[in-house]
Amino acid sequence: MLVSRYQPILYLQYLLLFVDIFLNAFTELLRYQNVILLVLYVVQDICIVFAVIIIFLLFFNTFIFQAGLVSILVSKFKVPISVTFIYFSLCLGLHVWTMERRWDNTNIYMWDNKGYQALFIIQRTCAVLHYYFYKRTALKLGDPRYYQDSEWIHREFERRR
């Protein structure tokens, strides 16, 4: 893909990642206002969904996908796709559990529940993996090899036959 065409997409992906990082870091500061917290959780989940949509649109735009060699894309990007879906599931679970416990009493002490602590730690750890793999995938998809016919694609296809 041309750099001039890919640069705005990359900036949008970075913006979505930044919003996700920011919300992961600072939503706990707004724990006393349930409606605002709920809106921020929804915004975070929507950002993750948009990030996934952008990645899949970039997949669909590649020559490899258009040539019907989807298995090459899937094998190259299965870890980032899996991490992203796991991260999204963990975020949803954490958001639902947080709102369910805090809705009636905003002053409740959340950290006495071991399951909640475990989910929180796993979600934050998976967030780091998600940020790494998502950024790496976004940069990899900027490679012109994916958008034109090349000897590399033919070798990959022959190797997988």
Instruction: For residue range 128-151, list pLDDT tens digits in order.
Output: 999 999 999 999 988 888 777 777
* pLDDT, tens digit, 9 for 90 and up, residues 35-86: 999 999 999 999 999 999 999 999 998 888 887 778 888 888 999 999 999 9
Whether residue 120 contacts residue 35, with contact meaning beta carbons closer than 8 Å, is answered with no
Whether residue 3 contacts residue 144, with contact meaning beta carbons closer than 8 Å, is answered with no
Residues whose CB falls within 8 Å of the CB of residue 76, separated by 6 or more in sequence, listed in order: 140
Percent of the chain with pLDDT over 90: 58
7-11, 90-94, 131-135: which has the minimum mean pLDDT?
7-11
